[in-house]
C-alpha cells in the first residue's frame, strides 16, 4: 500500500520525465525508465557544467569544481538517506533514481542560472 501511495504522489509531482514513465506497470519497469531519464539529465548537467567552466577565470573554475564535487557527495548521501526510509521495500527502487533525477535537474538549473551557462 505504501508503494502505491508513493507512486500516485510521485507521478503527480515528478514532472515530464516521470510522466514518460507513468505507463510502466512494475516497480522494476518504472525504475529502469527513471534510470534512463537520469542518464539524459546527467548528460545535460555535464554539458551545462562544461560550458560554465569554459567561461570562468581559473580561480572561479576551481571553486565551481569544488562545489560540484561537494554537490555529488550531497546528492549521493541525500538519495541514500531517502532509500533507507523504505527499509528495503520496493519503493526504494523508484525513490533513488527519482531523487537523483530531481536533484540533477535542479543542479543543472543552478549552474545555468548562476554561471549564465546554456546547456548545449
pLDDT of 88: 79
Please provide the CATH number assigned to the domain covering 2-115. 1.20.1270.180
Name the residue with higher pLDDT: 12 or 77.
Answer: 77
Q: What is the mean pLDDT of the chain?
A: 86
Annotated domain spans of the chain: 2-115
**Are the C-beta atoms of residues 33 and 22 closer than 8 Å to each other?**
no
The cell numbers describing 2, all together, are: 505504501
Task: Classify residue 32 by burial, with Cβ atoms within 10 Å: 0-12, 13-18, 19+.
Answer: middle
* pTM assigned to the model: 0.81
Residue 11 has pLDDT above 90, yes or no: no
Name the residue with higher pLDDT: 77 or 8.
Answer: 77
Residue 4 has pLDDT above 70, yes or no: no
**CA pair distance 3, 81, nearest whole angstrom:** 17
Which tens digit of pLDDT belongs to each residue from 61-100? 999 999 999 999 999 999 999 999 998 788 888 999 999 9
Residues 6+ apart with CB under 8 A from 51: 117, 118, 119, 120
pLDDT of 9: 47
Amino acid at each position: 500500500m505504501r508503494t502505491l501511495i508513493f507512486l500516485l504522489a510521485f507521478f503527480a509531482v515528478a514532472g515530464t520525465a516521470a510522466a514518460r514513465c507513468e505507463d510502466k506497470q512494475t516497480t522494476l519497469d518504472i525504475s529502469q525508465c527513471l534510470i534512463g531519464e537520469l542518464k539524459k539529465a546527467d548528460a545535460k548537467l555535464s554539458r551545462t557544467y562544461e560550458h560554465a567552466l569554459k567561461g570562468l577565470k581559473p580561480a572561479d573554475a576551481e571553486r565551481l569544481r569544488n562545489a560540484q564535487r561537494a554537490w555529488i557527495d550531497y546528492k549521493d548521501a541525500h538519495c541514500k538517506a531517502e532509500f533507507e526510509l523504505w527499509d528495503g521495500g520496493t519503493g526504494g527502487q523508484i525513490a533513488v533514481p527519482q531523487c537523483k533525477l530531481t536533484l540533477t535537474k535542479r543542479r543543472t538549473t543552478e549552474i545555468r542560472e548562476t554561471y549564465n551557462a546554456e546547456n548545449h
